[in-house]
């Protein structure tokens, strides 16, 4: 982390993603190496470093945001990785739609939807 840091792994507020790649992301005039989880409440460091590690536990903070999230974008890295049907059902039961794509596409889509003031969250796996 440079030019600022995640406070205890969390930066409050809604922020656009300014850049991605080189193993991390730029947002809120900061850079962070590693994956991130973008919620309406803020951006946090996120443990999954590969798409295969995304499970209910990794996405519990998204569901905890309740009605503030209607759509979750998952960026699975350079390749689109499948999300287990059970995980899709769990999110649907929580009232959250899901769209899975490459991390770059997910970051760009997140920025557009956030600018439209949509109830969106993103789980982005860092790419080199």
CATH of the domain at 106: 3.40.1230.10
- The pLDDT value recorded for residue 7 is 52
Please give the Cα distance from 21 to 90 (Å, whole number).
Answer: 30
Confidence of residue 8 (pLDDT cuts 50, 70, 90): low
Q: What angle do CA 28, 34, 37 make, to 5 degrees?
A: 60
Tell which residue, 26, 78, 71, 73, has the closest CA to residue 50: 78
Beta bridge partners of 81: none
Task: Please count the structural domains in the chain.
Answer: 1
Q: How many helices (H) and strands (E) does the chain have?
A: 3, 9
Q: Tell me: pLDDT of 2 over 80.
A: no
The structure tokens listed for 79 are 């390749």
113 or 10: whose pLDDT is higher?
Answer: 113
Residue 70: inside a domain? yes
Residue 3: inside a domain? no
Residue 4: inside a domain? no
Beta bridge partners of 26: 19, 31
Please give the Cα distance from 31 to 73 (Å, whole number).
Answer: 21
48 or 94: whose pLDDT is higher?
Answer: 94
- Give the chain's mean pLDDT: 92
37 or 47: whose pLDDT is higher?
Answer: 37
Task: Taking residues 46-59, report their average pLDDT.
Answer: 89
Domain that holds residue 99: 10-124
pLDDT tens, position by position, 67-95: 999 999 999 999 999 999 999 999 999 99
Q: What angle do CA 82, 41, 102 make, to 5 degrees?
A: 25
Residue 111: inside a domain? yes
- Percent of the chain residues topping a pLDDT of 70: 94
Residue 49: inside a domain? yes
pLDDT tens, position by position, 14-30: 999 999 999 999 999 89
Residue 15: inside a domain? yes
Tell whether pTM > 0.95.
Answer: no
């Amino acid at each position: 982390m440079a030019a600022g840091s995640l406070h205890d792994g969390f930066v409050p507020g809604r922020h656009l993603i300014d850049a991605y790649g080189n193993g991390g992301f730029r947002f809120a005039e900061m850079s962070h190496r590693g994956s991130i989880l973008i919620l309406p409440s803020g951006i946090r460091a996120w443990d999954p470093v590969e798409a295969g590690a995304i499970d209910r536990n990794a996405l519990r903070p998204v569901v905890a945001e309740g009605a503030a999230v209607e759509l979750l974008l998952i960026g699975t890295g350079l390749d689109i990785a499948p999300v287990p049907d059970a995980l899709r059902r769990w999110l649907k039961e929580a009232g959250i739609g899901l769209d899975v794509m490459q991390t770059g596409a997910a970051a760009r889509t997140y920025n557009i939807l956030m600018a439209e003031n949509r109830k969106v969250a993103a789980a982005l796996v860092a790419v080199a």
